[in-house]
Structure 1
């Protein structure tokens, strides 16, 4: 049955939003994995853990925002299975941040895809919503992750395996 409030929401935009909801929930799950990795006794980087868990929370909140937006526009929410993270272990904080950066770039591509679909179907509301609520934030997160990686690489370059640099970064930067 067609929603009484659905107006100018193209079915392709509706499907793309549903796909993005799943992507955001998977991202939240993946960042929980990164946070728990950082909190393990053999890694012991509590501020790395806090950073990743905050990213997880932000992704979950954005997924909830998309759910609410889909309902607001009269679309149908179709939840999908959430895939487990593609990795379960990392080689330290720098590897975890590098993984998160690449993951965030792929999330940004998914956001741009939805923005493009909305633009193609002349839906300025979806375009504006995604630009203001998601794309700008995504670019800021990519910048922050890149900055952290640059600092970590400089700290690690002064010692053979970089563990002291990660420890100092965890204690004094995050």
Structure 2
């Protein structure tokens, strides 16, 4: 009897979902859930950088605050997508979020891009996991961290990640452009913001290259 009640409840719930869902297919729902994972990965990545800059042996509070806000913003993007899926009668499916996965994505972007970066590997994962490793193309050995231009390296990682997220959003938009409402939401709430973020981070990278390390980086940190 208990199982019959549960089955009846599930059947009623499914019927209610069908009342809401209109031209919102499984492929679209899957794609949106994958984008939620990307946004949460970006949030986790930025939180790692926030805690890195807050360390007493780094002591750049402006950067710590900047990346803390960036982490919250990416999480809010994920929450917006979750709310949207529910609004359209879909199913939110949360997947495992690993810091190393996003570091691998950023490293791949640093290594393959035609843009000019200081390194070809994202070092934050090596530092946050306690590893001391020299990786191809750039020295990530944390014992030599005094030679790092911390802010510049972080912003370069950020630019790659923001460009990656933007590219995935563009694919999502193109692949589901027959869904007028989804297209509107992506354009209004996500794509415009990504373009602005990419320009802002690119400007910060140029400024940090001019400022250099030491006093220049310290003064830059004060303005964040």
Q: TM-score normalised to the size of structure 2?
A: 0.71
How do residues 22-171 of structure 1 correspond to structure 2 at under 5 angstroms?
A: 22-85=37-100, 86=103, 87-88=124-125, 89=127, 91=148, 92-119=150-177, 122-156=178-212, 162-171=213-222
Task: State how far apart, in whole Å, the 2-side matches of 1:11 and 1:100 are.
Answer: 31
**Do 1:21 and 1:63's aligned partners in 2 also have CA atoms closer than 8 Å?**
yes
Question: Which is greater in Rg?
Answer: 2
Secondary structure of 1:82's counterpart equals coil
1:20 to 20, 31, 35: 35
What stretches of structure 1 of length at least 5 have no aligned partner? Answer: 157-161
Secondary structure of 2:31's counterpart equals helix
Task: State how far apart, in whole Å, the 1-side matches of 2:217 and 2:55 are.
Answer: 15
Note the C-alpha offset of 1:114: 1.1
Aligned length: 166
Give the CA RMSD over aligned residues.
1.3
Higher relative contact order (CA 8 A, sep 6+): 1
Task: State how far apart, in whole Å, the 2-side matches of 1:34 and 1:144 are.
Answer: 18
Task: State how far apart, in whole Å, the 2-side matches of 1:70 and 1:167 are.
Answer: 43
Secondary structure of 1:115's counterpart equals helix
The list of structure 1 runs, each at least 4 consecutive aligned residues, that deviate by more than 4 angstroms after superposition, is none
Secondary structure of 1:8's counterpart equals coil
Secondary structure of 2:99's counterpart equals coil
Secondary structure of 1:79's counterpart equals coil
Note the C-alpha offset of 1:139: 1.0
Task: State how far apart, in whole Å, the 2-side matches of 1:145 and 1:19 are.
Answer: 25
Comparing 78-87 with 55-64, greater Cα deviation is found at 78-87
**Do 1:12 and 1:117's aligned partners in 2 also have CA atoms closer than 8 Å?**
no
What stretches of structure 2 of length at least 5 have no aligned partner? Answer: 1-13, 104-123, 128-139, 141-147
Q: TM-score normalised to the size of structure 1?
A: 0.91
Note the C-alpha offset of 1:42: 1.4
Deviation string, structure 1 residues 57-99 (Cα, Å, up to 9, x no partner): 0001111111000000111111100111424247311101111
Note the C-alpha offset of 1:43: 1.1
